[in-house]
Amino acid sequence: MTLFKQATIIGLGLIGSSVARALRENGVCEIIVACDASPECLDKVAELKLADKTEADLQKAVDGSDLVILATPVGTYGDIGQAIGQALDFGATVTDVGSVKGCVLKALSGVLPEHVHLIPGHPVAGTEQSGPEAGFASLFAGRWAILTPPQDADPEAVEKLKKMWEAFGSKVEIMTPEHHDLVLAITSHIPHLIAYNIVGTAHDLEGVTDSEVIKFSAGGFRDFTRIAASDPTMWRDVFLNNKEAVLEMLGRFTEDLTALQRAIRWGDGDALFNLFSHTREVRRQIIEAGQDEEAPDFGRPHEIPPEKQAKD
């Protein structure tokens, strides 16, 4: 289904390159232009034939495109917006895939011209890997794509973008950026913070325990190390740009952790057992939802091709 004439993707890492593959595989646009700050990345994109054209210059890259997708760390948006603003085609749609949404309008609405449709987006799908080789076309299939259009957004432009994500196999939900950032703070951002912290603490203990923390790391810790291997630049920008929601959710998390600490100290087995039973039920519900085609499937595992999976 051809929805756009020419799509420019800025940032051809894991997500941008997956978008390029999905655009092509599903015939969503006629021409794909790839733009990235890294010459090595653009060389790889050309070698993998992920785009019809590679272009290092931001203004040249967006010229003639009716769709521009930002797929760089969210902290880069302001500078990119400044650079492309005057070069955008009349009536073009500008969207993004960033993990934080409140910051997008703040960074871009002042620097983009009035004639473009700015519709922020976020595919809730990813892996811990980075770069154009890590991407794959089916990354978004069966996953949510969240759009956070401004209140005065053009309904036709929103609908077209919704159709693009649906063509990739995603289910689309529309919400406010504030709601997005609060929900994702607890379901995605804090889990990453916890993983970074526990792996960091364990690494610090290495000296004390004579390397045994890593040597005897059990399944649970290994799962944390996968998440803690995620891209440092991307996640630095997530936390700096979703500060309020993350700090609010972290406050609640810390209170609950203190309650657990107290239960352990005072031997309150019932409190521990009740919480662990409840969380087991949450997991069961998530798995069930993932298997039910009609239900939300946040818990459904990715169909990650074997060659793109984390190596243990």
Ligand X SMILES: O=C(O)C(=O)C[C@]1(C(=O)O)C=C[C@@H](O)C=C1
Ligand Y SMILES: NC(=O)c1ccc[n+]([C@@H]2O[C@H](COP(=O)([O-])OP(=O)(O)OC[C@H]3O[C@@H](n4cnc5c(N)ncnc54)[C@H](O)[C@@H]3O)[C@@H](O)[C@H]2O)c1
What residues make contact with ligand Y under the rule CB under 6 A? 10-16, 36-38, 41, 71-74, 76, 80, 97-99, 123, 126-127, 130-131, 231, 234, 238
* Binding partner selected for residue 93 from ligand X, ligand Y, none, CB under the kind-specific 5 to 8 Å limit: none
Q: Which two tokens mark 82?
A: 């400044």
Smallest gap from Cβ 124 to ligand X, in A, equals 5
Smallest gap from Cβ 231 to ligand X, in A, equals 10
Q: Which residues contact 252 (CB under 8 A, 6 or more apart)?
A: none
Question: 18 or 99: whose CB is closer to ligand X?
Answer: 99
Q: Check: CB of residue 123 under 8 Å from CB of residue 143.
A: yes
Q: Which residues contact 227 (CB under 8 A, 6 or more apart)?
A: 128, 191, 192, 195, 196
Question: 72 or 99: whose CB is closer to ligand X?
Answer: 99
Question: 214 or 240: whose CB is closer to ligand Y?
Answer: 240
Q: Which two tokens mark 282?
A: 């949450």
* Binding partner selected for residue 80 from ligand Y, ligand X, none, CB under the kind-specific 5 to 8 Å limit: ligand Y
Question: 33 or 161: whose CB is closer to ligand X?
Answer: 161
* Binding partner selected for residue 54 from ligand X, ligand Y, none, CB under the kind-specific 5 to 8 Å limit: none
Q: Check: CB of residue 139 under 8 Å from CB of residue 126.
A: yes
Smallest gap from Cβ 219 to ligand X, in A, equals 17
Question: 187 or 279: whose CB is closer to ligand X?
Answer: 187
Please, which residues bridge with residue 54 across strands? Answer: 34
Taking every pair of C-alpha atoms in the chain, what is the biggest distance, in angstroms? 67
Integer Cα distance of 155 and 112 in angstroms: 19
Q: Is 280 helix (H, G, I), strand (E, B) or coil?
A: helix
Question: 195 or 213: whose CB is closer to ligand Y?
Answer: 195
Integer Cα distance of 104 and 78 in angstroms: 9
Burial class (CB in 10 A: 0-12, 13-18, 19+), 97: buried
* Binding partner selected for residue 188 from ligand X, ligand Y, none, CB under the kind-specific 5 to 8 Å limit: ligand X
Question: 56 or 286: whose CB is closer to ligand Y?
Answer: 56
* Binding partner selected for residue 146 from ligand X, ligand Y, none, CB under the kind-specific 5 to 8 Å limit: none
Smallest gap from Cβ 134 to ligand Y, in A, equals 7
Smallest gap from Cβ 97 to ligand X, in A, equals 8
* Binding partner selected for residue 62 from ligand Y, ligand X, none, CB under the kind-specific 5 to 8 Å limit: none
Smallest gap from Cβ 234 to ligand Y, in A, equals 5
* Binding partner selected for residue 76 from ligand Y, ligand X, none, CB under the kind-specific 5 to 8 Å limit: ligand Y
Integer Cα distance of 22 and 87 in angstroms: 26
Burial class (CB in 10 A: 0-12, 13-18, 19+), 16: buried
With CA atoms as reference, report the closest residue to 82 among 119, 106, 112. 112
Smallest gap from Cβ 83 to ligand Y, in A, equals 8
Residues that bind ligand X (CB under 6 A): 99, 124-128, 188, 230
For residue 123, report the phi and psi dihedrals to the nearest 5 degrees: -75, 125
